[in-house]
Chain A
Amino acid sequence: MIKVNNRPVEWQEGMTIKKLINILKYSYPVLIVTINGEHIPREKYEAATVSDGDDVKIIHPIAGG
């Protein structure tokens, strides 16, 4: 189990930020991602591994609409 935005999400073997974003269907084009507080830039989404127990934040920085 990992945490995404302080809510529990099932962890999967080989999970990366890119895969996690796909599972959650987070298609909003501007995201701010951290793993355990460390900022992950967009170009590293595919390489950034998510381990079991990680605290992930995927923030949609918009109060718009």
Chain B
Amino acid sequence: MSCILTAEHVHKIKAARKVLKEFKYEPAKLEKGYANKSLYINISNNSIVSKDVTEKMKDVFIGGKGFGLWYLWNAVNPLTKWNDPENEIVISPGPIAGITQYPGAGKSLVVSISPTTGSVVDSNVGGHFGPFLKFSGWDALEIQGKADREVIIFIDGNKGTISIEEAPLESVDTHLIIEELTEMYAESDEDKRNISVVSSGTAAQNSYIGLLNFSFYDKRRKSPRVKQAGRGGIGTVFRDKKIKAIVVKFNGVKGDLNNPVDLKKIQELGIKLHKEIHDFDAIQTQKREVGTANLVEIMNDYDLLPVNNFKYGNHPETWKIDSKQIKKKVTQNMPDGCWYGCSMACAKAVDGFILKTGPYKGQKVLIDGPEYETVAAVGSNLGIFNLDHVLECNFYCDTYGVDTISLGTTTAFLMECYESNILNKEITGGLELTFGNKDAAMELLHQMSRGESFGKIAGLGVRKIKELLVKEYGAEPQFLNDIGMENKGMEYSQYISKESLAQQGGYAMTNKGPQHDEAWLIFMDMVNNQIPSFEDKAEALHYFPMFRTWFGLMGLCKLPWNDIEPANNRQTSEPAKVPEHVQNYVELFNSVTGKTINKQELIVQSERVYNFQRIFNIKMGFGQKVHDNPPYRSVGPVTVEEYLSRQDRYDQQMKELIGVAPDGKTIEEKIKITRKYREDQYEELRQTVYKRRGWTENGIPTLEHIRNLGIDFPEVLEVVNKHL
């Protein structure tokens, strides 16, 4: 038990609980990766229902994100808003999730209607919840409705009980509630590792960018830790439903619980990958040592690290927040995985960090991370090169339940607005939001948690802030649209895409918004120059999003795919695809499910779900060409200082690519010429990509394509037909 949690406190909160509904069930035995049951809970009327998972569902939607999309599709109508009771939060791990032999198999996919995009969003997360849920007999958990009082949902996968409990005294902030609930539901210290908690935090309920934390118990540290489903504001939906936490308890994790058809094959595949990780991780990407943080210095070297709201790609002070500094802070010699058997072990933690600000000031805390995205989002992109600030912000974002990426990109936008005199101290309530002002950035986050002052505005996210600034303060829309790094209402993740046309598409031609989990093509495009033509880029923007969608259908982590590579990968014809690992995945799927797909069918599995998600967006009023427009900051230089920072490159491109002599032209003229060229290039790319993906010029999947994929259900055709 932590020093802040006393037995008396636990007793008190336990005594205040009231069971509102209890449900008993016979936990299903898993067969070939599936429980063949899903759990539906409505917290408006406290109903709990066990649903059958049909063969058709498994064939078409596979699991994970596919199941989430299908359940949500059936739950909402085109008018459903994120905070309507009809909206659901669906958590589903996928058929491969829970195996312990192959690294990276403990992920869950969370699907909901997003407060920031207004459409369907999905987020991929580690921690033990997904596998425990499945071992408890459920392929998916659907939560619908809105409670009228604070509740906790508790699933005991051994006893076969589910309860909805009134939870008046539990904390909301994650670092507290995960301790409280782990303590409360575990029968002994040994039993704590059998608990996983999904929670959010106080800032999630006062902003649109709330996240969900998924816990896993760290036996060595004797403390629960968390991984985040960060993107799209699902934590905000969670708190709006008045859910404090979902707890699953399952005792008895074993390597064969999925009851796969060929365990021996899975073991062989796992041993091969463990060996690669053991032999090569130290000389390849060092995930075991520093997690994803070594990308900080790498991105800086390639001019890709966002600095000052994505204006620049590097900064001389980056060394202060790079992985060498981070290494000094994280506890060493502790390879850490977020699910059993992940020898890639990229999880990292800083122990005993003393907080300097906020409600927990002076307390010693455990901080998970920091990951590359967080360092860039709340560090370099705000012009803040102070590692203690990054760590403090990382802790508070997690415990308050806020997505570091959206927070960072939104704060960066606000800072640029402040420096451009669109905002001032009067509007910000006294906060001097200049780049580099770490105290102001921290205070903004604390205000968000308290639901006060300018923090409440910041919590709206970039798109809604733009609308507010135009409406209330007469700001010029075009400038805001150019520098506000959002697309579809989601804030950009942390890479500069200006010099990679393919990545501009990889961000803006996505289903949920500009998160790089669909496609990260910057090296292939900008550095390697391997995809020079529009057709090459379009092929990459077809293959990689489809391939990467597959991880989300299975409950797999992407990192062991290409953050480690076999010794002979470089001799293969397509090293970026890591062909041997793709084959591992084909065999892994077949060995778990008994099906016989090949690598082409793997892509088709994803394509079905990917196109279904596109059509889901269309159903909700999005998902068309206009929604794939990027902000110009992600395409080229918006401001004079930005142009000047890469003047030689832009001038040379003007001469060589556009065929215009830059001499004698003002910077403003050059920005205009560059913009016209780059926007035309994007448009040509867009049309080539749409064609490759089987979509019309307006980005609608064609009837022929829908039929070929076998997703031509009447309700799908009804949505699409309106737009063809």
Contacts and interface: CB of A to CB of B under 8 A. Distances in A.
Contacts of A5: 527-530
Interface string A37-65: 00100000000000000000111111111
Given A61-B576, A64-B558, A30 B523 contact: no
Given A5-B528, A6-B529, A28-B523, A64 B562 contact: yes
A21 to B, nearest CB: 11
Given A62-B576, A63-B562, A64-B520, A25 B529 contact: no
Contacts of A30: 283-285, 565
A29 interface: yes
A62 B283 contact: no
Contacts of A28: 298, 302, 523
15 contacts: A5-B529, A25-B302, A27-B302, A29-B286, A30-B285, A32-B575, A60-B527, A62-B523, A62-B563, A63-B521, A63-B523, A63-B524, A64-B558, A65-B295, A65-B522
A25 B283 CA distance: 18
Nearest to B280: A30
Contacts, number: 70
Interface of B: 283-286, 295, 297-298, 301-302, 495, 516, 519-524, 527-530, 532, 540, 544, 558, 561-563, 565, 569-571, 575-578
B532 A27 contact: no
A57 B563 CA distance: 21
A58 B528 CA distance: 7
A57 B530 CA distance: 10
Contacts of A7: 529
B523 A29 contact: no
Given A27-B301, A65-B516, A65-B520, A32 B577 contact: no
A57 B528 CA distance: 8
A29 B295 CA distance: 11
Contacts of A63: 519-521, 523-524, 540, 544, 562, 576-577
Residue of A39, A62, A64, A65 most packed against chain B (CB within 10 A): A65
B431 to A, nearest CB: 32
B297 A61 contact: no
A47 B105 CA distance: 42
A17 to B, nearest CB: 15
A15 to B, nearest CB: 19
Given A29-B284, A65-B522, A59 B528 contact: yes
B297 to A, nearest CB: 7
Given A64-B558, A65-B495, A25 B544 contact: no
Contact of B570 (A26, A27, A32): A32
Contacts of A61: 565, 569-570, 575-576, 578
Contacts of B558: 64
A30 B528 CA distance: 13
A29 to B, nearest CB: 6
A29 B532 CA distance: 24
Nearest to A31: B570
Contacts of A26: 301, 527
B426 to A, nearest CB: 40
B576 A6 contact: no
A27 B577 contact: no
B530 A59 contact: yes
Contacts of A32: 570, 575
A55 to B, nearest CB: 12
B518 to A, nearest CB: 11
Contacts of B519: 63
A7 B540 CA distance: 21
Q: Which 8 A-B pairs have the closest CB atoms?
A: A65-B520, A61-B575, A60-B523, A32-B570, A63-B576, A5-B529, A25-B301, A27-B301
A27 B319 CA distance: 14
A25 B516 CA distance: 23
Given A5-B529, A59-B575, A63-B540, A27 B297 contact: yes
B285 A29 contact: yes
Contacts of B576: 61-63
A59 B523 CA distance: 8
Nearest to A7: B529
Nearest to B292: A65
Contacts of A25: 301-302
A27 B563 CA distance: 15
Contacts of B524: 60, 63
A28 B569 CA distance: 16
A6 B531 CA distance: 11
Interface in A9-38: 25-30, 32
A59 B516 CA distance: 21
Contacts of B561: 64
B276 to A, nearest CB: 12
Contact of A60 (B495, B528, B569, B577): B528
A62 B561 CA distance: 10
A63 B61 CA distance: 25
Contacts of B284: 29-30
Contacts of B530: 5, 59
A62 B528 CA distance: 10
A26 B299 CA distance: 10
Given A25-B301, A59-B570, A64-B558, 19 more contacts: A5-B527, A6-B529, A6-B532, A25-B302, A26-B527, A27-B301, A28-B302, A32-B570, A57-B528, A59-B528, A61-B570, A61-B575, A62-B576, A63-B519, A63-B520, A63-B521, A63-B544, A63-B576, A65-B495
B167 to A, nearest CB: 39
A53 to B, nearest CB: 18
Contacts of B301: 25-27
Residue of A7, A30, A39, A61 most packed against chain B (CB within 10 A): A61
A28 B558 CA distance: 19
Nearest to A33: B570
Nearest to B286: A29
Residue of A27, A59, A60, A64 most packed against chain B (CB within 10 A): A64
Contacts of B520: 63-65
Contacts of B563: 62, 64
B690 to A, nearest CB: 21
B639 to A, nearest CB: 25
Contacts of B302: 25, 27-28
